[in-house]
Chain A
Amino acid sequence: MNYTKGISSELEDLIYLEDVEASILFRIDGNVVESCFNENYSQELLRTVQWCKANVEKVSLEMRSNNLNKVTYELNDFCVLFFVVNNVSILTTLANQNVNLSLLSIEAKRKSQIIASYL
């Protein structure tokens, strides 16, 4: 399996979890490496993704300076979960507000480590 296909499969796994709307692997400069969306995504979701894209650099700097592995935001009725993959990539998972964040963070952490092994 080539690495793009592998990463894409891991991102797709995440959107099969209950209440997850999208999973995106960002480079810290805001470029998207891979992404996966639920079939019926909304304008609000796209607006939140846009916010992630614009802020991922700032978020990653913040995470690095505070030695954080995970950061969660709540905005536009979505929960946004950032997980450090490696020095240059961040796994971002967007879910609706009903999501069980504890369970989601367990799987997102696992996925971030698997994705790191592909890069």
Chain B
Amino acid sequence: MQITAGTTSHRSIKQATNAIIRDVIGEINGTPEFLIVGFTPNYQSKRDYENALAKICEESGTKNIIGGIFPGVATSNGLPTTQGCSVMGFKGDEVQIQPPFDYTNVRINPKKGAQKIRKAYESTTKSSKLGFFLTPGPFYQTNAFEQLKVLDTFFAKKFKKMFNLIGRMINRSMGKNGYGSTLFADTILRTLVEGGIKNALGGATIDLDMKYCYQFSGDSVFQNALVGTVFSSDKLSFNNNWTFDKSQHSRDFFLTEFLKSSGYVQKINKKPANEAFLELIDISRDLYDEAFGKLSYASLLYLSALENEYEDYVPFVSVCHPILDGVIATIPEKTLSSNNIKTDFFTQSGTGIQKSALECANNLTNGMTDIRFGIFINCSNRLLIAGDKIDKENKLIEQAVGEDVPFITLYSGGEFSLINQKPIYSAVSIHGFVAGEPTIDTKNVVF
């Protein structure tokens, strides 16, 4: 099996595209069977991305492409870039990669998106299978918080019984075409579990300004679509796993009042959530706004983690906006099942996230030898936490999977996995998958 990967950077998307065609597609002997393409969002124009994809399709001779925009992209053989692209090309019969599928209305109807994944998954009979999909990421209208303020101060307090209905209205108002956050991915994962799908890996495309995000399928560029494929093989086995930085556990608290359907937390420890949240992380309003104001007031360093029916800790980002009394948290409805939920705080650090990347990669290589390739979906928040030290994460992954093993890392706006029918929708985490030969247990035989 021939797998090539490369990263290039340039201010012009044309130059970046030409360079990546030379470095990745040119290295494959013949026509690649599949390409994963990640561009950074700085080129902005949809037309530019369409032209770039058309060029890649023309030069590679294949329309079997999926991808999207991510604030950072990297490959095993290149430093991460925030102004360029990374591509991974596949050719060979060890792994079958299904032609790409897409569904353009996934924010509104995530269940239908899940059916697309399921259909592709079920169309292969091979022994190892893994669905791989990319979705739209967080997206907020410019006045979303102001709209939320009206709902928060008036409706949510006056008509408490209507909380969940109002929650849905809040959620709708946060995004132009349905859910502004990536909570819909949790619905996709749970629908896949119900459909008997075992393994999947996904990530959300994102522009950190949260103005737009694009997904690629073939030479098409979408704005609110799910795109994906299914990897399958009889010869190789696939491992997928996830983790986050759990090294600095600070304290516990209780979510005491919230709108289930929107992940809008009104009270923490029976106090207004906004005030209580700042008290918990021990930061003044001014300092918090200075640190996170540019990032939609999302507290990237402080992760609240909740227990769900599958995992002890699943981390979520909290948005603590000055005009709201509550806190918006990316917690799915199903996780907010009881009335008083114990939550844990984890503080993120550069070295902590590096260690978690190594932990994830080490777990992936368990029971596997001669690894052929890897795909990693790493939260873009981790990119902001680590800064220029982010390449160390990839060095550690390389250390775990092997020096010459090609892999691609996409820095996403939400990461999701289905690991042996266990759905994981999390934030500020790393999810990954590797393909390799299963280790055969050899027992000592005494003749």
Contacts and interface: CB of A to CB of B under 8 A. Distances in A.
B83 A17 contact: yes
Interface residues of A, number: 21
Contacts, number: 57
A14 to B, nearest CB: 8
B208 A109 contact: no
A16 interface: yes
Contacts of B388: 69-70, 102, 105-106, 108-109
A10 B50 CA distance: 25
A38 interface: no
A98 interface: yes
B369 interface: no
Contact of A106 (B10, B82, B208, B294): B82
B42 A106 contact: no
A98 B9 CA distance: 23
B169 to A, nearest CB: 32
Interface size of B as a range: 20 to 34
Contacts of B83: 13, 16-17, 107
A19 to B, nearest CB: 11
B383 interface: yes
Nearest to A17: B83
Interface of B: 9-11, 42, 71-72, 79-83, 208, 294, 383-388, 390-391
B294 A17 contact: no
Interface string A104-118: 111111110100000
Interface in A71-119: 98, 100-111, 113
A31 B81 CA distance: 28
Contacts of A104: 82
A106 B387 contact: yes
Q: Which of B79, B80, B383 has the most CB of A within 10 A?
A: B79
Nearest to A107: B82
B11 A13 contact: yes
Contact of A13 (B10, B79, B390, B391): B10
Given A102-B387, A103-B71, A103-B82, A110 B42 contact: no
A12 B12 CA distance: 10
B408 to A, nearest CB: 16
A108 to B, nearest CB: 7
